[in-house]
Chains A and B, each alone.
Chain A
Amino acid sequence: QSVLTQPPSVSAAPGQKVTISCSGSNSNIGNNYVSWYQQLPGTAPKLLIYDNDKRPSGIPDRFSGSKSGTSATLGITGLQTGDEADYYCGAWDSSLSAGVFGPGTKVTVL
Chain B
Amino acid sequence: QVQLQESGPGLVKPSETLSLTCSVSSGSISGYYCTWIRQPAGKGLEWIGRIYTSGTTNYNPSLKSRVTMSVDTSKNQFSLKLSSVTAADTAVYYCARELLPYYFDLWGRGTQVTVSS
Residues of A within 8 A of B (CB): 2, 32-33, 35, 37, 43-47, 50-51, 56, 88, 90-92, 96-104
Contact = CB atoms under 8 A, between A and B. Distances in A.
B107 A45 contact: yes
> What's the interface size class on B, roughly?
20 to 34
Interface in B67-117: 94, 99, 101-105, 107-110
Contact of A101 (B44, B50, B58, B107): B44
B45 A88 contact: yes
Contacts of A37: 45, 104
Contacts of A99: 35, 47, 50, 58, 60, 102
A104 B102 contact: no
Contacts, number: 65
Given A44-B94, A44-B108, A33 B45 contact: no
A32 B60 CA distance: 17
Max chain A CB contacts within 10 Å: which of B46, B47, B61, B108?
A: B47
B65 to A, nearest CB: 14
A33 B47 contact: no
Given A44-B110, A97-B58, A98-B59, A50 B44 contact: no
25 contacts: A32-B101, A32-B102, A33-B102, A37-B104, A43-B109, A45-B45, A46-B107, A47-B103, A47-B105, A51-B101, A51-B103, A88-B44, A90-B102, A90-B103, A91-B102, A92-B102, A98-B47, A98-B58, A98-B61, A99-B35, A99-B47, A99-B50, A99-B60, A101-B47, A103-B44
